[in-house]
Amino acid sequence: MGKTANTSVRDLLFGDLWDYAPAPESRDHLTIHERYGHFIDGKFVEGEDHFPSINPATEEQLFEVASADEATVDLAVKAARKAYDKVWGKMPGSERAKYLYRIARMIQEKARALAVAESLDGGKPIKESRDVDIPLAAAHFFYYAGWADKLEYALPGASPSPIGVAGQIIPWNFPLLMAAWKIAPALAAGNTIVIKPAETTPLTAMMLAEIIQEADLPPGVVNIVNGAGQTGAAIVNHPDIDKIAFTGSTDVGKIIQRALAGSRKKLTLELGGKGANIIFDDASLDQAVEGIINGIFFNQGHVCCAGSRLLVQENIADELMHKLRHRVSTLIVGDPLDKNTDVGAINSREQLLRIQELVAAGKDEGAQIFQPSSPLPEKGFFFKPTVFTEVTPSHRIAREEIFGPVLSVLTFRTPEEAIEKANNTPYGLACGVWTDKGSRLFRVANALKCGIVWGNTYNRFDPTSPFGGYKESGFGREGGLHGLLPYLEVR
Ligand code: NDP
């Protein structure tokens, strides 16, 4: 324990008394091609209209990637339909499971290269891609492989059958993990797929295509088309798609919902959030500080369920904020490939501009900003971990999803006030509650209008546990038994 200027509060030491030597992960074992096209009907196809994919930590071009137009999307949908009608839709679940297990094991075998690729292409710290993204992606394939031959037991008496061809559109914050969340349950349930990765992070999806090819998955069962929003729209509007699964912004989610209104297509939406992390005065404060840090600075805050609003009971606010500022000052911001890095690069220049705009709005509206003094790297898209105090519920930084390393702190006096403030948002994805009292935890959790509530922890993910929101955070669940339902026709 170390003494600080505020003599009434003692701080834990976080290695802030010494410097860390650089510990860069090697990228020698990763082969990146100069150009990527699409993966259609079991084959890599060249594609057209290539655009550059940038390493957000250096601003250097990593490779070029194609942009699929309507004709290319149509080829992918036709391949998926043929594979569904002739092979996959008829295959016994026990056989489908073997492919899913194989893909899961191959993700594990190639975990190191996948983790480096994820950090290079997307900017996230290697310790997160290595310890969270890639192992969880493999775990999703393992988990849903287990369900593939047990669907009748999952839904007794319901005679579940697959839906057909699923169109899936995923964002850039957890590229391989989001692909796994979408692909694994759809395949386990017997559907075939056309999936589009986000334009800034297609690399691990193309590596997954290599794995799928090596695993000998029948051609056309999984088709991966690259491109920007128009490619996503072409999937959404294709007449032979039976179901759309989308993860991304609430604005695009609304566009998709409007496009599908009146059609027979099924839809699940996993959209934005403005999660409240609620700290009661009986919580273990040092533990809560770690949960707050993890809640907002994990993956640079590019997390739909981020704990981006901190609600602190007023009588402990000074002590907690002192501890939090101290801890934020020890975070290492920099090279995503360095194993010591806590906060990596912002995914794109566009996202950095959006964060800067909202932070400027926070200052203009009168909130107090805290940022550590250590400088940022000169090149690349970086943003300092930021904590705003004196935030009111009407401030933009308390209402809008910033999707960056920016925390807005509000206070409360009673549990009722905490619940009211936490629910005062159009979103309803995730919340956290920190208290020593189990009865309070359950009471507050039940009153919170969000799909996920973590108790004395934050950002814990597990393939067996359903994930999803309500209100403007979307509908439908991914993960667990619930995650199979959107891919099944139940009679
Ligand atoms: P988008 O919602 O635009 O992107 C999500 C995915 O949808 C991407 O693959 C994107 O392609 C695709 N897409 C874009 N427009 C359409 C369309 N009209 N029809 C079908 N698909 C489409 O998010 P952004 O990347 O623009 O991020 C903007 C904000 O959204 C962020 O600041 C953040 O607040 C929020 N966000 C939330 C996420 C979440 O998990 N809840 C994830 C990502 C962003 P492309 O990559 O080419 O744009």
What is the DSSP code (8-state) at residue 473? G
From the CB of 173, is ligand 1 less than 6 Å away?
yes
From the CB of 199, is ligand 1 less than 6 Å away?
yes
Q: State the pTM of this model.
A: 0.96
Give, for ligand 1, the residue of 231, 244, 252 to mutate: max count of ligand atoms closer than 8 Å to Cβ.
252
Does 295 share its domain with 428? yes
> Residue 50: pLDDT above 50?
yes
- The pLDDT tens digits for 252-309 are 999 999 999 999 999 999 999 999 999 999 999 999 999 999 999 999 999 999 999 9
Does 301 share its domain with 402? yes
For residues 157 and 264, what is the distance between their CA atoms, to the nearest angstrom?
25
Does 230 share its domain with 290? no
From the CB of 306, is ligand 1 less than 6 Å away?
no
Main-chain dihedrals φ then ψ at residue 467, nearest 5 degrees: -135, 135
Whether 60 sits among the annotated catalytic residues: the reply is: no
In what helix (H) or strand (E) does residue 55 lie, and over which residues does it extend? strand 51-55
360-396 b/e with 16+ CB inside 10 Å = b? eebeebebeebbbeeebeeebbbbbbbbbbebeeebb
Task: Say how many Å lie between the CA of residue 402 and the centre of ligand 1.
Answer: 13
The predicted pLDDT at position 3 comes to 40
Does residue 27 form part of some domain? no
From the CB of 249, is ligand 1 less than 6 Å away?
yes
| Closest to 203 (Cα-Cα) out of 140, 116, 270 | 116
Q: Indicate which residue's Cα is closest to atom 46 of ligand 1.
A: 198
First to last CA, the chain: 61
> Residue 5: pLDDT above 50?
no
99: CATH: 3.40.605.10
> Residue 67: pLDDT above 50?
yes
The predicted pLDDT at position 18 comes to 74
Q: Indicate which residue's Cα is closest to atom 6 of ligand 1.
A: 171
Does 199 share its domain with 339? no
Does 333 share its domain with 416? yes
From the CB of 237, is ligand 1 less than 6 Å away?
no
Tokens of 382: 């970086």
- The pLDDT tens digits for 186-225 are 999 999 999 999 999 999 999 999 999 999 999 999 999 9
Least confident segment among 16-30, 138-152, 276-290: 16-30
The predicted pLDDT at position 301 comes to 98
Task: Say how many Å lie between the CA of residue 128 and the centre of ligand 1.
Answer: 22
Q: Indicate which residue's Cα is closest to atom 43 of ligand 1.
A: 248
The predicted pLDDT at position 1 comes to 40
437: CATH: 3.40.309.10
- Number of neighbours of residue 62 by Cβ within 10 angstroms: 18
Does 303 share its domain with 426? yes
Query: Which one is predicted more confidently, 362 or 8?
Result: 362
Does residue 463 form part of some domain? no
> Residue 52: pLDDT above 60?
yes
Does 365 share its domain with 319? yes
- When the pLDDT of each residue in the chain is averaged and rounded to a whole number, the result is 95
Does residue 16 form part of some domain? no
Q: What percent of the chain has pLDDT over 90?
A: 93
Active site residue: 128, 270, 400, 472, which one?
Answer: 270
Does 149 share its domain with 40? yes
From the CB of 234, is ligand 1 less than 6 Å away?
no
The predicted pLDDT at position 379 comes to 96
> Residue 430: pLDDT above 70?
yes
Q: Indicate which residue's Cα is closest to atom 47 of ligand 1.
A: 228
Angle of helix 175-188 versus helix 203-214 axis, rounded to 10: 40
The predicted pLDDT at position 9 comes to 66
Q: What percent of the chain has pLDDT over 70?
A: 98
Residue 183: which domain range?
35-271+470-489
Q: Indicate which residue's Cα is closest to atom 32 of ligand 1.
A: 403
For residues 176 and 170, what is the distance between their CA atoms, to the nearest angstrom?
9
> Residue 4: pLDDT above 60?
no
Does residue 29 form part of some domain? no
Task: Say how many Å lie between the CA of residue 398 and the centre of ligand 1.
Answer: 21
Give 84-92's long-range contacts (Cβ < 8 A, gap of 24+).
84/162, 84/164, 84/165, 84/191, 84/192, 84/220, 87/218, 87/220, 87/221, 88/187, 88/190, 88/191, 88/192, 88/218, 88/221, 89/162, 89/164, 89/190, 89/191, 89/192, 91/190, 92/149
For residues 281 and 288, what is the distance between their CA atoms, to the nearest angstrom?
11
Does residue 465 form part of some domain? no
> Residue 419: pLDDT above 80?
yes
E-assigned strands of 136-239?
A: 161-162, 165-169, 192-196, 222-224
Angle at 263 between CA 260 and CA 265, to 5 degrees: 75
Does 287 share its domain with 265? no
Task: Say how many Å lie between the CA of residue 309 and the centre of ligand 1.
Answer: 22
Whether 304 sits among the annotated catalytic residues: the reply is: yes
The atom of ligand 1 lying closest to the CA of 256 is 19
Q: Indicate which residue's Cα is closest to atom 30 of ligand 1.
A: 249
The predicted pLDDT at position 203 comes to 98
Does 260 share its domain with 303? no
Does residue 329 form part of some domain? yes
- The pLDDT tens digits for 462-482 are 999 999 998 999 999 999 999
Does 226 share its domain with 129? yes
From the CB of 480, is ligand 1 less than 6 Å away?
no
Does 254 share its domain with 378? no
- The pLDDT tens digits for 347-390 are 999 999 999 999 999 999 999 999 999 999 999 999 999 999 99
Active site residue: 118, 128, 199, 304, which one?
Answer: 304
The predicted pLDDT at position 310 comes to 98
Instruction: Give the count of domains, the chain.
Output: 2
